Amino acid sequence: MFSDLDPVLNTPVRLAIVSVLIKMKQADFSYLMEVTKTTQGNLSHQIKKLNEAEYVEVIKTFKGNYPHTICKLTTKGRKAFEKYVEDIKKYLHL
């Protein structure tokens, strides 16, 4: 049954990122780092995986002279999250 869960979302940091983006229109890198309590390198890697799966859109801009990365959940990402939640509920018999 667990093998049926979306492998992209079945990772704690990725699931946390998508959970934040479900509630917010968008979130920047530093906010995601704060809420996931992970390292810059790990967060970058997990965002890249979500972006490759087309679950998040990554927008890179500048704030003054500093790079500013913003993540937004895509429609595909929202649907994948909703299915993941339903699959977990089935697994837990809720």
pTM to 2 decimals?
A: 0.90
pLDDT of amino acid 22 = 96
How many helices and strands (H and E) does the chain possess?
Answer: 4, 3
pLDDT tens digits, one per residue of 2-53: 568 899 999 999 999 999 999 998 999 999 999 999 999 999 999 999 999 9
Q: What is the mean pLDDT of residues 60-78?
A: 94
pLDDT of amino acid 1 = 53
Q: For helices 12-23 and 75-91, give the axis angle rounded to 10 degrees.
A: 120
Q: What is the mean pLDDT of residues 87-93?
A: 88
Domain boundaries, the chain: 2-91
pLDDT of amino acid 4 = 80
CATH class assigned to 2-91: mainly alpha
Q: Find the angle CA(70)-CA(9)-CA(79) to the nearest 5 degrees.
A: 80
Q: Which two tokens stand for residue 31?
A: 């906010």
